[in-house]
Amino acid sequence: MNTETISAAFYRGDKTFVVEKAVAVPPVAGEATVRIAYCGICGTDMHVYHGNMDARVGANRIIGHEMSGVVEAIGEGVSNVAVGQKVVVRPLDHCGNCPACLSGYAHICHNLKFLGLDTDGAMQELWTVPSHTLHILPDDLRLDHAALIEPVAVACHDVRLSDLQAGENVVVIGGGPIGVLVAMVARDAGGNVVISEVNPNRLEIAQSLGFDTVNPIETDLVNFINERTENKGADVVFEVSGTQPGVDAMTAVAATRARIVMVAIHAQKPTIDLFRFFWRELKLIGARVYEPEDYEKAISIIGSGGIDADIVVTDVAPLSEIQAAFEALDTSPTAMKSLIKVGMGA
């Protein structure tokens, strides 16, 4: 692969993306270059668009990490992937020497680099990354569906850390893209799942995916869960809303010895009802990004149809229309997950 001219979308600050020609970066030793098929727009990408992450990403950054593609070229010494294989990137690069890395938790390295925020990302036709970040996909997996693997891996990590057992009662607080994926992975693991969400459009999507839902503005969530569980409460609660009412609900619906998984990133330190932790011997579990096994699990769930990808993906737009895609996702009440079609077909 020589210095090919490609299309790339640059975030230039002030809610603006510009699609320009750029020169592809060839892979050096230990790297691989991926021809990008699709790249989903993450909630984090929306934070970039809104200017909340300018200090971190700068004003000339190619963002994007929820991608799928095909290996185009490999650098010297790369043996874990071959040219022509379908792949996704686990967009984490770690330092290898900090206490987290040395304890086996490289995914939450103290010096973690998130590819597509701290480095250029996948909203370009050819993306060069460390080859250790690649996971190989089955040949028959659709590349549009594969763009959901990164957010599904988040959900797989959350559900794995919750230690959910088949038959347990689960409440997912917040029915946005990650909440819905957590709910689907929890259901796939045998959980009896209820989604709590206030947005009517999101409630409709959750219902179309076959979930029991509650709008806690209209229905008392605690009563609803108690009625379903003979006053026991939920065995596992996922807090995905990032709101104070969500944090209040997470302890209120929790059964004795329930596990509560904190998935959301809260803008302020919320107030947590520690009394309930004492009375019911609750456990609070932090869950951040994913580990390699969560990626493998996400690939197998998507490959087996355990995620209804065609309902979760509500829009697909070409790279040339990335600006309009972000604007639409920002304002459309019915949008769930938008994909950018960066390059090749499905």
Q: Contact between 272 and Zn ion (CB under 5 A)?
A: no
Among 9, 24, 42, 184, binds Zn ion (CB under 5 A): 42
**How many other CB atoms are found less than 10 A from the CB of residue 251?**
22
| Min dist. Cβ of residue 95 to Zn ion (A) | 4
Q: Contact between 108 and Zn ion (CB under 5 A)?
A: no
Q: Contact between 98 and Zn ion (CB under 5 A)?
A: yes
Contacts with Zn ion by CB under 5 A: the residue count is: 7
Q: Contact between 95 and Zn ion (CB under 5 A)?
A: yes
Q: Contact between 157 and Zn ion (CB under 5 A)?
A: no
Between residues 112 and 282, which has the closer beta carbon with respect to Zn ion?
112
Q: Contact between 107 and Zn ion (CB under 5 A)?
A: no
Between residues 53 and 95, which has the closer beta carbon with respect to Zn ion?
95
Q: Contact between 94 and Zn ion (CB under 5 A)?
A: yes
Rounded to whole angstroms, what are the CA distances from 252 to 63, 169, 216, 276?
Answer: 38, 14, 12, 8
**How many other CB atoms are found less than 10 A from the CB of residue 29?**
10
Between residues 81 and 98, which has the closer beta carbon with respect to Zn ion?
98
Q: Contact between 46 and Zn ion (CB under 5 A)?
A: no
| Min dist. Cβ of residue 115 to Zn ion (A) | 11
Between residues 96 and 210, which has the closer beta carbon with respect to Zn ion?
96
> Which three-class secondary structure string do you get for the chain?
CCCCEEEEEEECCCCCEEEEEEECCCCCCCEEEEEEEEEECCHHHHHHHCCCCHHHHCCCECCCCEEEEEEEEECCCCCCCCCCCEEEECCEECCCCCHHHHCCCHHHCCCCEEECCCECCCCECEEEEEHHHEEECCCCCCHHHHCCHHHHHHHHHHHHHHCCCCCCEEEEECCCHHHHHHHHHHHHCCCEEEEECCCHHHHHHHHHCCCEEECCCCCCHHHHHHHHCCCCCEEEEEECCCCHHHHHHHHHCEEEEEEEEECCCCCCCCCCCHHHHHHHCCEEEECCCCCHHHHHHHHHHHHCCCCCHHHHEEEEEEHHHHHHHHHHHHHCCCCCEEEEECCCCC
| Min dist. Cβ of residue 97 to Zn ion (A) | 6
The pair of structure tokens assigned to 40 is 């989903």
| Segment near Zn ion (CB under 5 A); pick from 97-105, 275-283, 299-307, 315-323 | 97-105
Q: Contact between 101 and Zn ion (CB under 5 A)?
A: yes
| Cα distance between residue 248 and residue 245, in whole Å | 5
Q: Contact between 311 and Zn ion (CB under 5 A)?
A: no
| Min dist. Cβ of residue 163 to Zn ion (A) | 24
Q: Contact between 37 and Zn ion (CB under 5 A)?
A: no
| Min dist. Cβ of residue 238 to Zn ion (A) | 17
- CA pseudo-torsion sign 212, 214, 219, 224: positive
Between residues 94 and 135, which has the closer beta carbon with respect to Zn ion?
94
Q: Contact between 146 and Zn ion (CB under 5 A)?
A: no
Hey, which residues are catalytic here?
44, 47
| Segment near Zn ion (CB under 5 A); pick from 37-45, 245-253, 271-279, 303-311 | 37-45
Between residues 105 and 277, which has the closer beta carbon with respect to Zn ion?
105
Q: Contact between 240 and Zn ion (CB under 5 A)?
A: no
| Min dist. Cβ of residue 96 to Zn ion (A) | 6
- Per CB under 5 A, contacts with Zn ion among 55-84 are 66
What is the binding site for Zn ion (CB under 5 A)?
A: 42, 66, 94-95, 98, 101, 109
